[in-house]
Amino acid sequence: MNPNNKGSTQGEDKSKALRIFKCTKCHIEVPYHYFGKQPKFAKQLIFLEDSFICYDPFAPEKRPLCLGSKCAGCMSPVCVTCSIFYTKRLCADCANLIKESLPQELHESIRKLGRS
């Protein structure tokens, strides 16, 4: 699946044909193995959002590592460092647009996102 298309809730297993996740904010590029909510290699986990997931390269076994997801506002792929998750993932730009409707406790995190 193209990371710029809307995600599938059933997910895609990309363990044989790796795709590249690219954050639209920091431009990091990382191969991912799966896009969706429940990776086949970690059936005990169910993510709250369709996520770009790879194997954790530092774990001795195949553990999932969430790289990021699509911003609920603009649908751009964003990594976990360049976004905030509060019921849905938001990039810094979209979080700033709706900041006043979000809890006060998140405002500092949103401010820090804008500086990165």
In the block, residue with structure tokens 């500092």: 108
Summarised one tens digit per residue, pLDDT across range 5-39 is 444 334 555 445 679 999 999 999 999 999 999 98
Summarised one tens digit per residue, pLDDT across range 27-76 is 999 999 999 999 888 888 899 999 999 998 898 888 899 999 999 999 99
107, with CB counted inside 10 A (0-12, 13-18, 19+), is middle
Give the predicted TM-score (pTM) of the model.
0.78
